[in-house]
Amino acid sequence: MSDKHYLTDFPITPGTQITDLESEVPQVYDYDTINQRIDAVAAGLLKLNLPTNSKIGVIGYNSYNFITTNVGIYRARDASVPINYTVPKELVEFCLRDSDVKLVFCNSEFQHLVPSNIPLIVFNTEDFDNFLCYSDYKIPELDQDYTISVVYTSGTTGMPKGVVTSYGSRLWQLHRGIAEPVARHDLTVFLHSSPLYHLAGLNNIEHDLFFSEYKNVHAIIMPYFNARTYIKKIDEYKCTHVRLIAPMMSMILKEQDLLEQADLTSVQYIALTSSFAPLKLQNDILQYFTKVIAIINPYGSTETGSVFGGHPMGIPKPKISAGYPLNHVTVRLDEQGILQVKSPTILSNYINRPDLYEKSMTADGYYITGDIFTVNKYGFYFYQGRADDMFKSGGEKIYPSEIESVIDSYPSVAISTVVGIPDEIKGHKPYAFVQLHANAIATAEEIKEYTIKNVASYQIPRQIWILETLPKTNIGKIDRRYLTELAIQLLKENHDI
């Protein structure tokens, strides 16, 4: 197989190396080995003579197997369906049946999740070795309207919904749509731990491997996130770029003993994806990552892909801004301030849910994000929160992020979450949960007193609870729904409601 093939069809950047940390002994793979494995997966799929653009499930930890299988699916012109293995078995089965997968690849730990009537190939087995085909093969023609992936997102209510993305959309995202400072080093070392069953994780690793302007990419793949392990791997591999979601960074900052011991001076760029990164968090990061050139907090969703980047006139982006709309991306705010996006990267549909797709789109082709933004005179957009999270108290609109940013600025506070609890008179009242920095000491009364001095009277949390750790969803975001239920339970126990 010639290099021309590699460079024209989901190309791996020349000089790329992957270190897979899934096993006890790290496994290292070079550029040629990576491409040969991807081609072996693609050829193996084509030998099966499945229907054109078949859905192929992948269930597993972040790994070389997962990555190369996923890209092999692309080269065979099939559609990848990465599945979240942390949800209940019945939800896994729902996603596999809903997407009508024809075959599933998985780690041995997860084969019990796959219904018996769906063909299954387990990684690192004789069956997998026999499946791989190292013969030459003819790449099918690329129809950019083919489905490249179906990624399930739980949303806020109901069963998971499968977001359908086309080949054309993903190619634009990878080749044109990423807006991020490009650092050309002799060696660029990325550390990845975000789960590959979510689009943020896939985009992170694929951005680094495909169409990359970076030189000599070395991707360190952690099977899953662990804060202490993450810090150690930065030090061990002298990582220059780290990508993770904002709550994961909050967990890292709790490990102060290890942060003070580790050499983190190699890190130059930090990308905090999938959720808003408050200014307090960004400033806390710089206490330990002292050589960082830029902290970016890109905005996007499974449905939209990347939306914002740098300003075309070079105007510096405010730290807490999502950025300026990318080229070929059109945005607007409706009367409530909800962002609407039209872009080459927006979803093609929700699988088997045309009703939901129609509800999510405007008549003129904009996707309704459900996220509230403001925009300044330079065209920079600022995230205010989810429209679903906003609540009214005595007729006043309350955006939790505004109160959270104040609470988070209290020195002892690592992160906070504000929820609205129904009230017969006010409609809702704000309450807050707080997680302190490791070894920090503060009382709820002290934090509330500080907050009272810095927010409007209607924004004052009626009560603040301090928890050792704020609960998170399976992708690491603060579990606001659980905290709302917990607040109601605590208030009932105290006979406050």
- In contact, 451 and 467? CB cutoff 8 Å: no
Q: Place 339 in a pLDDT band, splitting at 50, 70 and 90.
A: very high
Q: Place 2 in a pLDDT band, splitting at 50, 70 and 90.
A: very low
pLDDT at 184 over 60: no
pLDDT per residue as tens digits for the range 258-296: 999 999 999 999 998 877 788 888 888 999 999 999 998
Angle at 121 between CA 118 and CA 126, to 5 degrees: 145
Angle at 389 between CA 272 and CA 404, to 5 degrees: 60
pLDDT at 443 over 50: yes
Q: Place 8 in a pLDDT band, splitting at 50, 70 and 90.
A: very low
pLDDT per residue as tens digits for the range 63-92: 999 999 999 999 999 999 999 998 889 989
DSSP state of 439: T
Beta-sheet strands, E only, within 259-304: 269-273, 294-296, 300-301
Q: Place 389 in a pLDDT band, splitting at 50, 70 and 90.
A: confident
Q: Kindly report the average pLDDT of the chain as a whole number.
A: 89
Q: Which residue has the tokens 């999502």?
A: 322
Q: Pick from 438, 425, 430, 424: which is nearest to 402 by CA?
A: 430
- In contact, 215 and 184? CB cutoff 8 Å: yes
Helix (H) or strand (E) holding 416: strand 413-423
- Residue 368's CB is within 10 A of a number of other CB atoms, namely 16
Q: Pick from 131, 127, 99, 104: which is nearest to 115 by CA?
A: 104
Q: Place 431 in a pLDDT band, splitting at 50, 70 and 90.
A: very high
pLDDT computed for residue 116 by the predictor: 95
pLDDT at 4 over 50: no
pLDDT at 404 over 70: yes
Checking 183-186 for CB contacts under 8 A at 24+ apart, the result is 183/214, 183/240, 183/241, 183/268, 183/269, 183/293, 184/213, 184/214, 184/215, 185/214, 185/215, 185/216, 185/240, 186/215, 186/216
Percent of the chain with pLDDT over 70: 93
Q: Place 211 in a pLDDT band, splitting at 50, 70 and 90.
A: low
Separation CA 403–CA 380 (nearest Å):
22
Of 109-123, 172-186, 231-245, least confident by mean pLDDT is: 172-186
- In contact, 148 and 260? CB cutoff 8 Å: no
Residues 6+ apart with CB under 8 A from 371: 299, 301, 338, 339, 383, 384, 385, 386, 387
Q: Place 227 in a pLDDT band, splitting at 50, 70 and 90.
A: very high
pLDDT at 178 over 50: no
pLDDT computed for residue 300 by the predictor: 84
Of 159-173, 365-379, 473-487, least confident by mean pLDDT is: 473-487
DSSP state of 1: -
pLDDT at 14 over 90: no
Residues 6+ apart with CB under 8 A from 366: 330, 332, 340, 341, 342
Question: What is the mean predicted confidence (pLDDT) over 99-119?
Answer: 97
Separation CA 348–CA 74 (nearest Å):
17
pLDDT at 185 over 60: no
Pairing of strands 305-306, 300-301: antiparallel
pLDDT at 224 over 80: yes
Question: What is the mean predicted confidence (pLDDT) over 195-204?
Answer: 87
pLDDT per residue as tens digits for the range 453-478: 999 899 999 999 999 999 887 666 78
DSSP state of 394: T
DSSP state of 323: B
- In contact, 80 and 56? CB cutoff 8 Å: yes
Q: Place 43 in a pLDDT band, splitting at 50, 70 and 90.
A: very high
pLDDT at 192 over 60: yes
pLDDT computed for residue 180 by the predictor: 45
SS3 content of the chain, % helix, strand, coil (to 5): 30, 25, 45
137 vs 21, residue with greater confidence: 21
Question: What is the mean predicted confidence (pLDDT) over 365-376?
Answer: 94
- In contact, 275 and 383? CB cutoff 8 Å: no
Question: What is the mean predicted confidence (pLDDT) over 299-316?
Answer: 90
pLDDT computed for residue 186 by the predictor: 67
